[in-house]
Amino acid sequence: MTSLTHLTIADALDGLKTKKFSAAELTEAHIKAVEQTDPLLNAYITKTPDIARAQAKAADARYAAGTNGLLDGIPLAIKDLYCTKDVLTTASSHILDGFKPKYESTVTQNLWNAGAVMLGKVGLDEFAMGSSTTTNYYGHIINPWSPFDGKEFTSKLVPGGSSGGSSAAVAARAAMGATGTDTGGSIRQPASFTGISGIKPTYGRCSRWGIIAFASSLDQAGPMARSVKDCALMLQAMAGHDPKDSTSVDMPVPDWVKALSPNVKGKRIGIPKEYRVEGTPAEILALWDKAAAWLKAAGAEIVDVSLPHTKYAVPTYYVLAPAEASSNLARYDGVKFGLRVDNGGSLADMYKATRGAGFGKETRRRILVGTYVLSAGYYDAYYTKALKVRAKIAEDFAKAFEKVDALLTPTAPSTAFVIGTNEDDPVKMYLNDIFTIPASLAGLPCMSVPGGLGSDGLPLGLHIIGKPFDEQTVLDVSMAVEEAAAFNALPKFMAA
């Protein structure tokens, strides 16, 4: 590792502008970091060093000409859910074998327009369905915080999910930042597990066009990086209206970076009582209380609030998200792209063989659940009822935000766990997102920032939820927490 890979995006941009180093040098350092770390972590599915070098060369030319963009020369990892033109895009699924799109997702195009550099595509839970990145067809991704003896990991921890490749790469300094997607917590929970920051913006803030769909009314793109300011920089480049996405909101992108401030004096911060879930480890509740004290000391007012329908959020999500997934994933049939298993039978036999071989166990489970809740006789009992409960959950937040400017909660109910834990009990695995799902159902902006280390020496995240399209307050409160926490711990793996 070189000192260049330990810079934040903000510091790297300062260095590039003052010519302390070039974009080519910064990119080369990160290409080397990918080569060094990936044999242990398995974060990357596809590495693109030649593309990265060409983009860095172009960035240096723009710096020389004084025409540099917001993220010029910054090396990023791209979650392999984003379509990237002529570069393998898999959604970490066997069924997309060989798929190289002839188009670029809107969000990644926005990043390239801002001058960012692509180091490669990183793995995830298959089709973003999971909280551990253990359903990645290309193998388990290892959390850099796993116990390390100097040569290898003595046990292997999950990096969270579904954006586990993104979180692992950023935490291991094998990318300065990464794109994630968040449907029920897939940016925030892996950020918590790996000691980095990640923000899910308001639904509609970033275009979904060119991002492989899981649950279309929930999926949202967002950045993952090592500081709140870095996330603000990335989000500013990623966001914006897109006429190709009917759910993209036509409103200007604020200058979040310019306005960013840790000043929370006079802000009212809500503490939802329903998030004190039975069985939550005492150290997580203690960190939550400590964070509230930090904000109070910084001049914020701490207010108790109630979100009474919170207890229904997880079951509601696991009706709605699989229902949408079963519809979205119907397009994978072996006809036009990806895997095709032709056993010489009928067209229906080919569909069955392709989907059976191409989809992993968890994806098949969710397709089956989703198809069931949408079927005749069950649609009203499950899907329609879940939509009504979702509306109630959103109403709870709306009422709370009449009293407060933001909400503070834990991000996850545990630190990172050993690979294989909860694999035999999907409900236990689903409960990893118990603190993140409610805000997702309401489409709200929310962010995880590192708050400290647990008794096991692993990172714990704190979760800030804001009003619709008020990413600024979410970023500001997150920055206040970040400064108070002063989190600067590194995985033992990084010191080796």
What does the DSSP 8-state code read for residue 418?
A: B
Range of the domain at 54: 3-263
Answer whether residue 459 is part of any domain: no
Residue 115 resides in a domain? yes
Tokens representing 394 are 């959103």
CATH code of 235's domain: 3.90.1300.10
Q: Determine how many CB atoms are found less than 10 A away from the CB of residue 176.
A: 33
- The DSSP string of 155-219 is S-B---SSSHHHHHHHHTTS-SEEEEEESSSTTHHHHHHHT-EEEE--TTSS--TTBPPS-TTT-
| E runs forming strands in 277-371 | 301-305
pLDDT at residue 424 in the model: 76
CB-based contacts of 305, cutoff 8 Å, min separation 6: 270, 271, 272, 273, 400, 403, 404, 407
pLDDT of residue 3: 92
Return all residues near 184 (Cβ < 8 A) that are at least 6 apart: 218, 317, 321, 433, 436, 437, 440
Nearest 5°: the CA angle 435, 440, 443 is 140
Q: Is residue 357 part of a domain?
A: no
195-240: pLDDT as tens digits: 999 999 999 999 999 999 999 999 999 999 999 999 999 999 999 9
Q: Is 163 a catalytic residue?
A: no
Q: Does 358 fall in a domain?
A: no
Is 438 domain-assigned?
no
What is the longest distance spanned by two Cα atoms in the chain?
A: 71
Q: How many separate helices (H) and strands (E) can be counted in the chain?
A: 17, 11
3-state secondary structure of 136: coil
CA distances in angstroms from 18 to 22, 23, 347, 481, listed in the order given: 10, 12, 61, 30
The answer to whether the CB of 314 falls within 8 A of the CB of 437 is yes
CA distance 318 to 399: 24
Number of domains in the chain: 1
- Examine residue 354 and state whether it is found in any structural domain, yes or no: no
Domain contains 53: yes
Q: Is residue 24 part of a domain?
A: yes
Helix (H, G, I), strand (E, B) or coil at 370: helix
Quote the DSSP letter at residue 384: I
Name the 3-class secondary structure at 427: helix
Of 93, 146, 163, 186, catalytic: 186
Tokens standing for residue 143? 């959390």
Q: Among 22, 47, 79, 93, which one carries the catalytic annotation?
A: 79
Residue 302, sorted as left (phi over 0), alpha (psi -120 to 50) or beta, turns out to be beta
Active site residue 162: yes
Mean pLDDT of residues grouped by 10 in the chain (496 residues)?
Answer: 88 98 98 97 98 98 97 98 98 97 98 98 97 96 96 95 98 98 98 98 98 98 98 98 98 98 98 94 96 98 98 96 97 95 93 96 96 94 97 98 98 95 77 93 98 97 98 98 97 78
105, 132, 162, 167: the catalytic one is 162
Q: What is the 3-state secondary structure (H, E, C) of the chain?
A: CCHHHHCCHHHHHHHHHCCCCCHHHHHHHHHHHHHHHHHHHCCEEEECHHHHHHHHHHHHHHHHHCCCCCCCCCEEEEECCECECCECCCCCCHHHCCCCCCCCCHHHHHHHHCCCEEEEEECCCHHHCCCCCCCCCCCCCCCCCCCECCCCECCCECCCCCCHHHHHHHHCCCCCEEEEEECCCCCHHHHHHHCCEEEECCCCCCCCCCECCCCCCCCEEEEEECCHHHHHHHHHHHCCCCCCCCCCCCCCCCCHHHHCCCCCCCCEEEEEHHHCCCCCCHHHHHHHHHHHHHHHHCCCEEEEECCCCHHHHHHHHHHHHHHHHHHHHHHCCCCCCCCCCCCCCCHHHHHHHHHHHHCCHHHHHHHHHHHHHCCCCCHHHHHHHHHHHHHHHHHHHHHHCCCCCEEEEECCCCCCCECCCCCCCHHHHHHHHCCCHHHHHCCCCEEEEEEEECCCCCEEEEEEEECCCCHHHHHHHHHHHHHHHCCCCCCHHHHC
Give me the sign of the Cα torsion angle 338, 341, 347, 352. negative
